Amino acid sequence: MANKYHIITYGCQMNKSDSERIATVLKSSGYSPTPNRKEADLVVINVCSIRQSALDRVYGLISNIKNKKSRLYQGLDEQIKTQIKNQKIILTGCILPKDKEKLKNKVDLIFDINQLTNLPQMLSQTNTNLSRHLAIKEFDNLAIKQLNNYLSIKPCYSTFPFAYLPIMTGCNNFCTYCVVPYTRGREVSRPVEEIICEVKELIKRGYKKIILLGQNVNSYKSKTPNSKLKKVNFPKLLKIVNNLPGDFWLTFITSHPQDFSDELIETMTKCEKVMPYLHLPVQSGDNQVLKKMNRHYTVAHYKELIKKIREKFAKIREGFEKNICISTDIIVGFPGETKKQFAQTARLMREIKFDMAYIAKYSPRPGTAATKLKDNIPLKEKEKRWKILAKILEKTALKNNKKYLNKTVEVLIEKQSGNSLYGQTKTFKNVKVYSPEQKITGEIVEVKIKKISPWGLAGELIKN
Q: Which residues bind ligand SF4 (CB under 6 A)?
A: 171, 173-175, 178, 180-181, 215-216, 256
Check binding of 213 to ligand 5AD (CB under 6 A): no
Check binding of 25 to ligand 5AD (CB under 6 A): no
Check binding of 178 to ligand 5AD (CB under 6 A): yes
Helix (H, G, I), strand (E, B) or coil at 1: coil
In the bound state with ligand 5AD, the residue whose beta carbon lies nearer, of 26 and 178, is 178
Please provide residue 390's backbone torsions phi and psi, each rounded to the nearest 5 degrees. Answer: -60, -40
| In the complex, least distance from residue 438 CB atom to ligand SF4, rounded to whole angstroms | 42
| In the complex, least distance from residue 294 CB atom to ligand SF4, rounded to whole angstroms | 8
Q: Are 17 and 202 in contact (CB under 8 A)?
A: no
| In the complex, least distance from residue 296 CB atom to ligand SF4, rounded to whole angstroms | 10
Check binding of 50 to ligand 5AD (CB under 6 A): yes
Residue 389's binding partner among ligand SF4, ligand 5AD, none (Cβ under 5 to 8 angstroms by kind) is none
Q: x/- contact string, 358-387, with ligand 5AD (CB under 6 A)? A: --x-xx-x----------------------
Residue 256's binding partner among ligand 5AD, ligand SF4, none (Cβ under 5 to 8 angstroms by kind) is ligand SF4
| DSSP single-letter state for residue 378 | -
In the bound state with ligand SF4, the residue whose beta carbon lies nearer, of 141 and 216, is 216
Residue 365's binding partner among ligand SF4, ligand 5AD, none (Cβ under 5 to 8 angstroms by kind) is ligand 5AD
Residue whose C-alpha is closest to residue 329's, from 398, 390, 292, 283: 283
Residues of this chain, 51-80, that bind ligand 5AD according to CB under 6 A: 51
CA distances from 302 to 126, 142, 248 (A): 49, 47, 30
CA 284 to chain centre: 21
In sequence order, the 6+-apart residues with CB closer than 8 A to the CB of 176 are: 292, 293, 294, 368, 369, 370, 373
CA–CA dist 21, 15 (Å, integer)? 10
Q: In 96-152, at which residue ranges do the beta strands (DSSP E only) sit?
A: 109-110
In the bound state with ligand SF4, the residue whose beta carbon lies nearer, of 3 and 218, is 218
| In the complex, least distance from residue 329 CB atom to ligand 5AD, rounded to whole angstroms | 3
**CA trace torsion 109, 115, 118, 124 (10° rounding):** 0
In sequence order, the 6+-apart residues with CB closer than 8 A to the CB of 392 are: 346, 349, 350
Q: How far apart, in Å, do the first and last CA atoms of the chain sit?
A: 50
| In the complex, least distance from residue 71 CB atom to ligand SF4, rounded to whole angstroms | 39
In the bound state with ligand 5AD, the residue whose beta carbon lies nearer, of 97 and 319, is 97
CA distances from 373 to 102, 179, 365 (A): 23, 16, 11
Check binding of 177 to ligand 5AD (CB under 6 A): yes
Check binding of 342 to ligand 5AD (CB under 6 A): no
Residue 171's binding partner among ligand 5AD, ligand SF4, none (Cβ under 5 to 8 angstroms by kind) is ligand SF4
Q: Are 309 and 321 in contact (CB under 8 A)?
A: no
Instruction: Please list the residues that pair with 360 across neighbouring strands.
Output: 331
In the bound state with ligand 5AD, the residue whose beta carbon lies nearer, of 22 and 178, is 178
In the bound state with ligand 5AD, the residue whose beta carbon lies nearer, of 31 and 260, is 260
Interface region with ligand 5AD, contact rule CB under 6 A, candidates 35-43, 97-105, 355-363, 373-381 = 355-363
CA–CA dist 161, 414 (Å, integer)? 6
Enumerate binding residues for ligand 5AD (CB under 6 A): 50-51, 177-178, 281, 283, 329, 331, 360, 362-363, 365
